[in-house]
Structure 1
Amino acid sequence: MVLLGTFVNAILIIIGSIIGRFLKNIPENMKQTVMNAIGIAVVVLGIQMGLKSNNFVLVIICLVFGAVIGEWIDLDKWLNRLGNYIEQKFGSKKSQGGSIAQGFVTGTLIFVIGAMGVLGALNSGLQNDHELLISKGIIDGFTSIILSATLGIGVILSAIPVAVYQGAIALFATQITKLIPAAALDLFIQEMTATGGIMIIAIGMNLLGLTKIRVANLLPSLVVVAIGVTIIYNF
Structure 2
Amino acid sequence: MPGLGTLINVATIVIGAGIGLALGHRLPERTREVTTVALGMVTLLVAGLSTVEITSPALVDAVGGSAPVLIVLASLLIGGIAGSLLRLEERLEDLGGVARRLFTRSRSRSAVPAPAAAGPVEGEAAGAGGGSDGEAAAAHAGAHRFVEGFVSSSLVFVVGPLAILGAISDGLGHGIDQLALKATLDGFAAIAFAAGLGVGVMASAVPVLIYQGAFTVLGVVLGNFLPEASVAALTATGGLLLMGVALRLLRIRSVPVADLLPALLVAPILTAVVAAF
1:64 shift after superposition: 1.4
1:191, 1:33 → 2: CA distance?
A: 33
2:270, 2:98 → 1: CA distance?
A: 36
- 1:192 aligned partner: 234
2:268, 2:74 → 1: CA distance?
A: 12
- 1:169 aligned partner: 214
Aligned-CA RMSD value: 3.5
- 1:114 aligned partner: 155
Q: Which runs of 4+ in 1 moved over 6 A?
A: none
1:9 shift after superposition: 5.2
- Identify the match of residue 129 of structure 1 among 178, 191, 195: 178
Could you tell me the TM-score, scaled by structure 1's length?
0.76
1:41 shift after superposition: 0.5
Q: Deviations over 1:66-100 (max 9, x none)?
A: 112112222111222333345456647753758xx
Q: Deviations over 1:115-157 (max 9, x none)?
A: 6415332121345534455433321222224455xx5xx975x
Contact 1:53–1:190 (CA under 8 A) maintained in structure 2: yes
User: What is the identity percentage for the equivalent residue pairs of Structure 1 and Structure 2?
Assistant: 18
2:29, 2:10 → 1: CA distance?
A: 25
Pair 1:177–1:108, CA change in 2 (3 A):
farther
1:17, 1:52 → 2: CA distance?
A: 34
Pair 1:198–1:107, CA change in 2 (3 A):
closer
Alignment of 1:53-202 (within 5 A): 53-54=54-55, 55-87=68-100, 91=104, 95=108, 109-110=150-151, 113-114=154-155, 116-118=157-159, 119-126=161-168, 128-130=177-179, 131-146=181-196, 158=203, 161=206, 164-175=209-220, 178=223, 180=225, 185-202=227-244
5+ residue gaps, structure 2:
56-67, 112-142, 170-176
Pair 1:93–1:125, CA change in 2 (3 A):
closer
1:197, 1:30 → 2: CA distance?
A: 28
Contact 1:6–1:121 (CA under 8 A) maintained in structure 2: no
Task: Find the structure with the greater CA-based Rg.
Answer: 2
1:197 shift after superposition: 0.3
